[in-house]
Chain A
């Protein structure tokens, strides 16, 4: 039986919780795979190797940089789940600041706290077979990846922008018609255009799509009257490092 492992690095637990949020599918899944390592859900830990490792979280300590190499060595396929593992997460905001200052803001005795200067995606440390985007990931996409692996086929994951999902839902454009700042044109599809559906602009949970033209959208947002610092802040959240790399 396929051996599934779930690993956590610096993160909020939300992406691995997405697996437990598959309430209708969880028991069926548990009949098809052996959950060999999933600390949040089980105190039973089986030794590797593992057929599929789902990795949540970014690499922020020297110990975790070692640990991700061990995970890779034991895993036939390694799939990163979510913005932290795929882009460094919101904690990558430290990459553009002084980590010692951050540490001294939060902790009275910074010397007790181990942290690298940068929060980095898993792919910066080891080869990754597939990256699942989102903050958090989408349940349907997670099930698609696991099903595809079990069936030995390639997962069907859209690589277009949030705009395509928004148009497909027949939503009125929040930017063109509503004048709201929206990252939809440059953001990777996958959520189903959740934010435009509640009348707000996309804030980029799924990170930049391939070929995203970030400067063009930034210029458009400024034309809509958004000050430059507001545009910067909009890009500087859960996928800050990925958007930054494309500006």
Chain B
């Protein structure tokens, strides 16, 4: 077998959300190209959002992703309320953060246990893991259920919640209903701490990515449902300036657009959040992180599994904190009157920063929509990592190297369904 010229291809990546392929070409012992191909068919959300009412993107954009619908809903209402000049106030913001914590717990538990852990254990899937370690899988499913229970109690449904709206919620759940979440969440906190210990014991390869990091930042707390933007290169700017820093361009092998931050490939997601905002985690989450061997920052993509586990701990604690102080917001939604203008919104989807921008006319009709999902932002950095992994492991046979490439991609929890739809307003034409 010649290692000098080879092509590796995985036509359908497994244990990722959505459909993607991997294509690596090596010529004369050098990596020619390493591509995460996104061939999932486009669905044209930005196009059909034009002409819709300003109240509709919350329901419509949820359908971009069944794994992180609350992220889409949140960035949508942040942008639309920004355009309309409305601030919803602390009680509604707290209920929204609780809802989002449910999505973090559910999505992170899905990724840690069902998608990512099998890589560290050399197994094809969680069913195989359950054959050996049923109690561990049951713990992961309990965690996932705890997250979904929050989504159902606050959002009315775990996938594509029906209760949220622009301005707040259709119905404020009574305190007695939400009180039922508390005991299962207390048990879930133990499960989450066990999870951190479990993943910290994985055989985690050495790796490091050096790209700039980007995350939302909230001066008051670990940013989830809102924030300004902070970067590892020392930039700090409001959501309204996102498109001044992030430029997208189209590449032939992908129905997702690639994004650059101030001209550079960059990364959003758990590593960026932990590195940029880790000091704002709760004492318990920080303690769990330290015991798991995480330092002040984390730039090893394999170790993102530990960061996700720590974020589960934090999200459960946050949910319990919000529930302890919960009083139903009155009214459940503030009136939002449309006005002509442009609004920007960001939030931290489990897999990274999600940006929305809407232009409304005076009647509240959407004239233009821009959505920049996390995986589109991460795609170039993922490919840099792939190229590096291949270059450093050319001595491996094709099967082993392909497997390593697939693991590399899964480290980033890519959501390919999300990445496939967005509008490019600033095109780099060459």
Contact = CB atoms under 8 A, between A and B. Distances in A.
Contact of B125 (A43, A60, A103, A105): A43
B263 interface: no
A40 B16 contact: yes
Interface in B60-101: 60, 63-67, 69
B127 A10 contact: no
Given A64-B41, A106-B424, A198-B156, A14 B124 contact: no
B284 interface: no
A136 B63 CA distance: 9
Nearest to A240: B48
A150 B15 CA distance: 26
Interface residues of A, number: 64
B41 A43 contact: no
A53 interface: no
A27 B43 contact: no
A72 interface: no
Contacts of A41: 15, 114-115, 125-127
Contacts of A39: 12-15, 19
A91 B42 CA distance: 9
B205 interface: no
B250 interface: yes
Interface in A104-163: 105-109, 112-115, 119, 135-136
Between B41, B53, B130, the greatest number of chain A beta carbons within 10 A of the residue's beta carbon is seen for: B41
Given A24-B145, A112-B252, A233 B63 contact: no
Interface stretch (B296-304, B339-347, B415-423): B415-423
Contacts of B427: 108
A23 B149 CA distance: 11
Interface string B142-174: 101100100000001111101101000111000
B64 to A, nearest CB: 6
Given A18-B159, A94-B48, A108 B249 contact: yes
B424 A23 contact: no
A216 to B, nearest CB: 24
Contact of A97 (B15, B48, B53): B48
Contacts of A10: 40-41, 43
Contacts of A238: 63
A164 interface: no
Given A23-B144, A30-B130, A237-B60, A101 B67 contact: no
Given A42-B125, A43-B118, A233-B53, A12 B145 contact: no
B383 interface: no
Contacts of A191: 157
Nearest to A197: B156
A217 interface: no
Nearest to A61: B41
Given A39-B13, A198-B162, A12 B63 contact: yes
Interface string B249-287: 111100101000000000000000000000000000000
Contacts of A112: 250-252, 255
B59 A237 contact: yes
B52 interface: yes
A60 B41 contact: yes
12 contacts: A8-B19, A27-B130, A27-B138, A40-B14, A42-B127, A44-B125, A89-B63, A105-B44, A108-B429, A191-B157, A194-B156, A198-B170
Interface of A: 8-18, 20-21, 23-24, 26-27, 30, 35, 39-45, 60-61, 64, 89-91, 93-94, 97, 99, 101-103, 105-109, 112-115, 119, 135-136, 191, 194-195, 197-200, 203, 205, 230, 233, 237-238
Top 3 closest pairs, chain A to chain B, by CB: A14-B66, A42-B125, A44-B124
